[in-house]
Amino acid sequence: MTGLLRERGEQGARVTFFELFFDLVFVFAITQLSHLLLEHLTLRGAAETLLLLLAVWWAWMYTCWTTNWFDPDHPAVRLMLVGVMIAGLFMAAMLPGAFGDKALWFAAAYVTIQVGRTLFVVVCTWGHELGRNFQRILFWKALSGVLWIAGALVDDPGARAGVWLLAVGLEYLAPWHGFATPLLGRSSTTEWTIDGAHMAERCQLFLIIALGETVLVTGATLGGHTPTAAIATGFVSAFVGTVALWWIYFDHTAEAAAERIASSADPGRLGRSAYTFVHIIMIAGVVVSAVADEQVLAHPGGHVSTAFAVVALGGPALFVAGHALFKRVVFGGFTRARVTALLALAVLAVPAFTVDALTPLGLHICAAAVVVALALWDVRDHRTQLRERAPLPGPLKGG
């Protein structure tokens, strides 16, 4: 058992090359989800895509928690991860048909990932202090797994969505009540002795995966069209918007948050709240933004449809709201700049939904301008804070 666990130094465990290789499966999954939303840009399509995104994130996130404790370079752990990759790639391939004729294949692959990986850990940790909590997790994974399979066997897509929503609800609520299980009781976040720095880095890398999807979409869509002035402008707007999203998260917040969780007396709490739950909001925002980027390149002119307005404004709004909540959980308090940005996006909805004052390109540029302004505000605010914290010159110290 001891040989399977990670060695943790003062700087925390590093992300291994195999973990980066593992993430390639989820690059494909994010691509599948953004294309699925693009092809079914309706309220129902958005709800189904969200449900599948929650499943994909949960499959990746629980593996992240597992590799936080277990060494991915150990042969046994690596073989387990290979198995998860096989099932994960199969699951990702089934995503477009998850609410159609591939439902059972999708559900079976997802349950195999969640139950199989957890069962491996339960066997490895039997008699170890970590074992009891993984036994609780196995109970909840098995319970939700029954619902995933049952939902796949239901022919009606609406009823299937209802059963799967119940399954997702059970899984997402479980960490909040400490995986309370008959005979085993519940756990506390203080028992989840994770490596905070590793957890932060893994979630940062997943966000890079999502942002990478927007870059791929932008480049691929541009390549499929003969450039015009409008298309070229849309290309610049899409790419600049992606850079601004990266800037908002990674310029200084990501590093500061990583330091906060690494030094926390209860890293399990921050790992659960700030990373496991809040990051999915930002990732959803990036996926929705990728759809808007593809649409503005394909149709930069003409009438702004309701669907385009929702993705063009909703993507940045989700990301900004998620980042605001992330900062609230890690540092405390909401920043005025993020509230202002959300209000600005809400104001843009008025001309977008009521009058033909903007073309799709115009609306996309306005939305991108909001996130660029927020990124620039963060740079200015951070530099101001650094100046205020800087020590006074020698003659001025003390008076």
Q: Would the pLDDT of 54 be above 60?
A: yes
Closest CA to 237 of 349, 342, 362, 321: 362
Q: What digits encode the pLDDT tens for the residues 102-141?
A: 999 999 999 999 999 999 999 998 888 888 999 999 999 9
pLDDT number for residue 38 = 94
Q: What is the mean pLDDT of residues 27-43?
A: 95
pLDDT number for residue 127 = 80
**CA 332/CA 321 separation, integer angstroms:** 14
According to DSSP, residue 218 is labeled H
Q: What is the mean pLDDT of residues 60-81?
A: 95
**What tokens appear for 53 in the block?**
């995104």
According to DSSP, residue 74 is labeled S
DSSP state letters, 312-343: HHHHHHHHHHHHHHHHHHHH-S--HHHHHHHH
Contact 87, 113 (CB under 8 A): yes
pLDDT number for residue 399 = 37
Q: What is the mean pLDDT of residues 152-162?
A: 93
Phi/psi region, residue 354 (left: phi>0; alpha: psi -120 to 50; beta: rest), is alpha
Q: What is the mean pLDDT of residues 235-258?
A: 94
**What tokens appear for 153 in the block?**
């066997």
Q: Flag the least confident range among 88-92, 203-207, 217-221, 334-338.
A: 334-338
Q: What is the mean pLDDT of residues 170-187?
A: 93
**CA 317/CA 294 separation, integer angstroms:** 18
Q: What digits encode the pLDDT tens for the residues 341-378?
A: 999 999 998 887 776 778 999 999 999 999 999 999 99
Sequence ranges of the domains in the chain: 2-187, 196-384
Q: Would the pLDDT of 396 be above 60?
A: no
According to DSSP, residue 95 is labeled G
Closest CA to 237 of 190, 292, 315, 170: 292
Q: What is the mean pLDDT of residues 253-269?
A: 90
**Against a cut of 0.75, is the pTM above it?**
yes
Q: What is the mean pLDDT of residues 331-336?
A: 84
pLDDT number for residue 355 = 63
Other beta carbons within 10 angstroms of residue 183's beta carbon come to 7
**What tokens appear for 304 in the block?**
């702004």
Q: Would the pLDDT of 291 be above 60?
A: yes
Other beta carbons within 10 angstroms of residue 376's beta carbon come to 13
Q: Would the pLDDT of 394 be above 60?
A: no
The set of long-range contacts for 187-190, using a CB threshold of 8 Å and a minimum separation of 24, is: 187/132, 187/133, 187/136, 188/268, 189/266, 189/268, 189/269, 189/271, 189/272, 190/266, 190/268, 190/269
Q: Would the pLDDT of 275 be above 90?
A: yes
Contact 216, 284 (CB under 8 A): no
Contact 69, 194 (CB under 8 A): yes
* Percent of all residues in the chain with a pLDDT value above 70, rounded to a whole number: 95
Q: Would the pLDDT of 300 be above 80?
A: yes
pLDDT number for residue 398 = 45
pLDDT number for residue 332 = 87
pLDDT number for residue 10 = 58
CA quadruple 257, 258, 263, 267: dihedral positive or negative?
positive
Q: Would the pLDDT of 395 be above 60?
A: no
Q: Please, which pLDDT band fits residue 9 given cuts at 50, 70 and 90?
A: low
Q: What digits encode the pLDDT tens for the residues 307-319?
A: 999 999 999 999 9
Q: What is the CA 232 to chain-centroid distance, rounded? A: 29
Residue type present at position 280: I
**CATH number of this structure's domain 196-384, picked from the four choices 1.20.1410, 2.60.40, 1.10.3470, 1.10.1060:** 1.20.1410
Cα 5–Cα 8–Cα 11 angle in degrees, nearest 5:
155
Contact 174, 140 (CB under 8 A): yes
